[in-house]
Amino acid sequence: MKRPSAPRKTSKPAPAKPTSLATLLTEVRHLIQSARRNVSTIIDTFQVMTNFEIGRRIVEHEQKGAKRAAYGAELLNELSARLTEEFGRGFSRSNLEYMRKFFLEWQKHAPISQTASGKLGGQKIIQTTSGQSALIEISQTPSGEFKRPFTLSWSHYVVLMTIKDPDERSFYEIESAQSNWNVRELKRQKASCLYERLALSRDKEGIRRLAREGQVITRPEDLLKEPLVLEFLGLEDKACYSENDLEQAIINRLEHFLLELGKGFLFEARQKRFTFDEDHYFVDLVFYNRLLRCYVIIDLKLDKLTHQDLGQMQMYVNHYDREVKLPDENPTIGLLLCKSAKKTIVELTLPKDANIHAREYNLYLPSKELLKQKLDEWSAAAARLTPPP
């Protein structure tokens, strides 16, 4: 007798995924990834905003108190002792002085302002009835990015507070945020007098733009510094070294050299060879600047600049413009780095529209006083040449 066959099991079809799930998943994933990237940033922002508010309350308390100079010192000493006992490190008198100074220096220029509703720009202060605690909320945009009332860490602002000139301080704050400098790089750029070196290559309006916007790259002249500082190469200024030694040191410290050159530089080649009539020529260093969309070729010179050096660079630039660059790219920039560059030689040798520049380099950090003196002399000379209105 034939056994009845067991009923065949039929697998249920998998439920169809909603068509909108892919979009939803993408959006949620972006939010989570953005949040994780910003965790450390938010912690820094909370610290900076909290210190700003501590500084505000110290100043407001002082304004209500005695006018004697000793009152402020006694207040900070007592406040430091009480906070350290309750919360531990981070509330020394010197730190409280920084917080006080931070509020005083940034209350007009900080990217936040307090309103009657208790909101501070992209943040909201919610205080309990006891007045002892506050919750700071940071708003998040639909794209998952966080609105940040301050863009740097507290350690950055401590360094910035050592800069007395407000225009110079504003420049370094903007550049630190835009170029993503860590504290060590900020200290290095400050020590190398980047602000003064860029200012020496600009007119008065250009200097004002540095304070308002940082270094904006729209033309070849915006890249130039006077001088370039190459102290990170480790070459002694009085030591005997060759152009090859200098080039090799730059390659060994390429990341630092790119930071010193400025924004948008990409390294392409060293000792780039090309041939004319069976003669070989070599360009020391070839870079590409993605902001200007052009090649930047650099020749290194150990001594003072000569008209032969300028003529050779003109040949290199002509070759790149005619044989290498694409039709939609901008003209090639030639940069001669030398120990001594006389502007008269450059002006007499090259036509006015030549895209070739000579800049001196230093193997040690420059004197801020000397650069300020040069800047004052430049400003005085420019004022004499400017016709009266």
Helices (H), the chain: 21-37, 39-64, 69-87, 93-106, 154-160, 166-178, 183-191, 194-199, 204-213, 243-252, 254-261, 307-319, 343-349, 368-385
Looking at the fold, whether 242 and 334 belong to one and the same domain comes out as yes
What SS3 state is found at 126?
strand
Query: Are residues 280 and 331 located together in one domain of the fold?
Result: yes
- The pTM score is 0.63
Gap between the Cα atoms of 93 and 81, Å rounded: 8
The tens digit of pLDDT for each residue in 16-59 reads 555 557 777 777 878 877 777 667 677 778 889 999 999 999 88
- pLDDT digit string, tens, across residues 172-212: 999 998 888 999 999 988 988 888 888 877 777 777 788 88
User: Is the domain of 273 the same as that of 337?
Assistant: yes
Count of CB atoms within 10 A of residue 171's CB? Answer: 25
**In angstroms, what CA-CA distances link 167 with 108, 207, 227?**
13, 9, 21
- In terms of DSSP bridges, do strands 356-362 and 333-338 run parallel, antiparallel, or are they unpaired? parallel
What confidence score (pLDDT) does residue 380 get? 66
Q: Residue 258: give the domain boundaries.
A: 228-365
Domain count, the chain: 3
The answer to whether position 133 is within a domain reads no
Tell me if 27 is assigned to some domain: no
CA distance 202 to 261: 17
Handedness of CA 80, 84, 90, 92 (dihedral sign): positive
DSSP character at residue 304: B
Q: What is the mean pLDDT of residues 1-8?
A: 56
Task: Specify whether 209 is located in the same domain as 294.
Answer: no
